C-alpha cells in the first residue's frame, strides 16, 4: 500500500494539475493598492484559448479549467500563476497615480508655464520633414479569441508638406486562431491623433487642476505634475516637464467613460444615434502613455502605448452598419497597442502620392501594398460617405502574413 501511494505521488508531480470549477480573485496594483480593471487572465492557445477580464472592482471570475494562467495588462508587468489566489498583485510598468483627491494647493507658476508651452509647442513638436521608421504591435483578447497584429514600415508625422499622418507598411503579421485577414490599425490612429502634446491646449489647462509630485526624482529642471479633471473624476494622469526648456518629456493619462464621451463624441450625433437605433455606450476606458525624444532639434513620440476597452449597444441595429462592421472587423472590445518611432533617412512622400479616402473611389480595387496611406482620425459614431467606408475596409485588409495559432 505504501508503495502504491508513493507511485501516485510521483505521477502527480510529473503531470500538471488542471484546476476545475469556478474561482474568483481580485487583481490589485501592488504600489497603490488599487483594484485593476480590465486585466486579462487567460490560458491555452488557438481554439483552446479561454480568458476572463477583471471588472470595475478588479474582480475576475475564472470558469474554465487551467493548469497555468497568464495575467496581463498594458500598465503592468505580466505574471504567470498555477493557481488562483484571493488577490493577484501586479507590478506597475509605468508610474502609478493613486485614485485619491490631492488637496495641496496648485503652485502659481504652473498655469503660466503650461500656457507658454501651448504657445510654443507648434515649432517644437509638429513639423517633421522626414518620415520615421515605425514598429506597431496590437493585441486583442476576448473570451475565446487571441489576436495580434505586428506592422513595420515608415510613418509620416505632421509636416509642412502634408498636414496629417500617413504610413507605408513594409511588413505585417497577424497571429490568430483562424484564417482572419483583418489588420487592425485603429489604435495606431488613436496613438497619433490623441497624442498628449496635440491635445494639451488652453481648454485642457482650464479643465484640469495640476499638482507637483514631490516624490519625483528626475534631472535638474524636471518636474512631474499630477493632473485631474475639474468636472469628471475619471480623467487623470501625470506629465513630466522640463521647466528650463519649457518641454513635455512624457505623459500618462487614464480616461473613463464619462470623460471619453465628452471628449470624443459630438453630443448632437450621440443624441441622433440614440433616437434612431437606441445606441448607447456601456464602457469606454483608455490608458495612454507616451515618451518624447529629440531629433534634429524637434521632438516626436518615440514610445507610446494605448489600451482601449470599449463596449456599446444598439436596440435596433442597421443591417448596412452590421455589414460594414463585419468588413472592417468592427474594432475589438479589448485592445492593447504599442508604437515605437526611430529617425529614418527616407524621403518624405509628396502629398499627391498619398492615398486617402478623398482620392479613393469605392470601385477602386488596386492593391495598397507599399503605398503611402493616410491615417485618418478614429471615430466611434459618425455618418460615413461611401468613399470613407471603402477606405476603412482597405485599412482593415492590408497585406499581412498569417500565422495560425494551433
* pLDDT digits 0-9 by tens, 230-261: 998 899 999 999 999 999 999 999 999 999 99
What pLDDT, on the 0 to 100 scale, is given for residue 135? 98
pLDDT band for 18, please (50, 70, 90 cuts).
Answer: low
Task: Give the mean pLDDT of the chain.
Answer: 86
Cβ atoms of 214 and 238 closer than 8 Å: no
- Answer whether residue 1 shows pLDDT above 50: no
pLDDT of 197: 95
Could you tell me the three cell numbers for 105?
Answer: 494647493
Distance of CA 141 to the CA centre of its chain: 13
Decide: 381 and 270 in contact? Cβ < 8 Å: yes
Q: How does DSSP classify residue 148? A: E
- DSSP reduced 3-state for 131: coil
* pLDDT-derived band at 205, boundaries 50, 70, 90: very high
Give tens-digit pLDDT for 37-79.
Answer: 999 999 998 888 999 999 999 999 999 999 999 999 999 999 9
DSSP string covering 168-181, please?
A: EEEEEEEEESS---
Sequence-separated contacts (24+) of 308-311 with Cβ below 8 Å: 308/187, 308/190, 308/334, 308/335, 308/336, 309/37, 309/38, 309/283, 309/284, 309/285, 309/333, 309/334, 309/335, 310/281, 310/283, 310/284, 310/285, 310/380, 311/281, 311/282, 311/283, 311/284
Please tell me the distance from the alpha carbon of residue 218 to that of residue 98, in angstroms, as a whole number.
20
Please say if the pLDDT value at position 195 is more than 80. Answer: yes
Q: Which of 61, 59, 41 is nearest to 50 (CA)?
A: 41
Q: 2 pLDDT band (50/70/90 cuts)?
A: very low
- pLDDT digit string, tens, across residues 102-147: 556 788 999 999 999 999 998 899 777 889 999 999 999 888 888 9
Confidence band for 159, pLDDT divided at 50, 70 and 90? low
Express each pLDDT in 331-380 by its tens digit: 678 999 999 999 999 988 888 888 888 776 544 555 666 789 999 988 88
What is the structure's pLDDT at 88?
95
Cell of 90: 501586479
The answer to whether residue 8 scores a pLDDT higher than 60 is no
Q: Quickly count: other Cβ atoms within 10 Å of residue 395's Cβ.
A: 23
- For position 327, what pLDDT does the model report? 80
Quote the pTM value. 0.89
pLDDT of residue 96: 61
Q: Which of 156-170, 203-217, 227-241, 288-302 has the lowest mean pLDDT?
A: 156-170
* Residue range 280-326, pLDDT digits in tens: 999 999 999 999 999 989 999 999 999 999 988 888 877 877 787 77
Which range of 14-23, 204-213, 343-352, 368-377 scores highest in mean pLDDT? It is: 204-213
Amino acid at each position: 500500500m505504501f508503495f502504491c501511494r508513493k507511485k501516485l505521488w510521483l505521477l502527480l508531480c510529473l503531470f500538471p494539475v488542471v484546476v476545475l470549477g469556478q474561482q474568483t480573485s481580485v487583481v490589485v496594483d501592488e504600489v497603490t493598492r488599487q483594484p485593476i480593471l480590465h486585466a486579462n487572465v487567460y490560458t491555452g492557445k488557438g481554439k483552446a484559448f479561454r480568458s476572463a477580464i477583471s471588472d470595475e472592482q478588479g474582480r475576475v471570475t475564472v470558469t474554465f479549467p487551467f493548469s497555468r494562467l497568464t495575467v496581463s495588462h498594458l500598465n503592468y508587468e505580466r505574471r504567470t500563476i498555477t493557481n488562483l489566489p484571493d488577490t493577484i498583485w501586479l507590478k506597475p510598468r509605468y508610474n502609478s497615480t493613486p485614485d485619491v483627491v490631492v488637496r495641496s494647493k496648485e503652485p502659481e507658476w504652473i498655469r503660466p508655464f503650461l500656457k507658454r508651452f501651448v504657445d510654443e509647442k507648434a515649432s517644437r513638436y509638429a513639423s517633421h520633414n522626414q518620415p520615421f521608421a515605425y514598429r506597431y504591435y496590437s493585441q486583442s483578447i476576448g473570451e475565446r479569441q487571441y489576436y495580434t497584429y505586428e506592422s513595420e514600415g515608415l510613418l509620416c508625422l505632421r509636416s509642412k508638406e502634408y498636414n496629417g499622418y500617413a504610413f507605408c507598411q513594409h511588413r505585417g503579421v497577424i497571429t490568430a486562431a483562424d484564417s482572419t485577414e483583418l489588420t487592425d490599425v485603429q489604435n495606431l490612429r488613436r496613438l497619433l491623433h490623441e497624442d498628449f502634446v496635440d491635445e494639451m491646449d488652453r481648454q485642457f489647462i482650464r479643465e484640469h487642476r495640476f499638482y507637483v509630485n514631490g516624490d519625483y526624482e528626475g534631472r535638474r529642471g524636471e518636474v512631474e505634475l499630477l493632473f485631474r479633471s475639474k468636472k469628471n473624476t475619471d480623467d487623470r494622469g501625470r506629465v513630466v516637464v522640463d521647466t528650463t526648456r519649457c518641454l513635455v518629456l512624457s505623459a500618462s493619462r487614464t480616461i473613463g467613460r464619462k470623460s471619453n464621451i465628452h471628449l470624443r463624441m459630438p453630443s448632437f450625433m450621440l443624441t441622433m444615434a440614440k433616437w434612431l437605433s437606441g445606441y448607447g455606450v456601456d464602457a469606454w476606458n483608455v490608458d495612454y502613455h507616451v515618451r518624447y525624444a529629440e531629433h534634429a532639434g524637434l521632438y516626436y513620440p518615440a514610445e507610446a502605448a494605448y489600451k482601449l476597452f470599449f463596449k456599446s449597444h444598439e436596440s435596433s441595429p442597421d443591417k448596412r452598419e452590421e455589414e460594414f462592421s463585419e468588413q472592417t472587423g468592427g474594432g475589438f472590445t479589448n485592445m492593447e497597442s504599442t508604437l515605437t518611432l526611430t529617425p529614418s533617412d527616407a524621403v518624405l512622400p509628396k502629398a499627391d502620392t498619398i492615398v486617402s479616402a478623398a482620392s479613393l473611389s469605392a470601385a477602386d480595387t488596386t492593391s495598397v501594398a507599399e503605398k503611402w496611406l493616410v491615417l485618418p482620425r478614429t471615430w466611434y459614431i459618425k455618418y460615413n460617405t461611401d468613399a470613407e467606408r471603402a477606405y476603412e475596409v482597405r485599412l482593415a485588409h492590408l497585406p499581412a502574413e498569417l500565422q495560425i495559432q494551433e
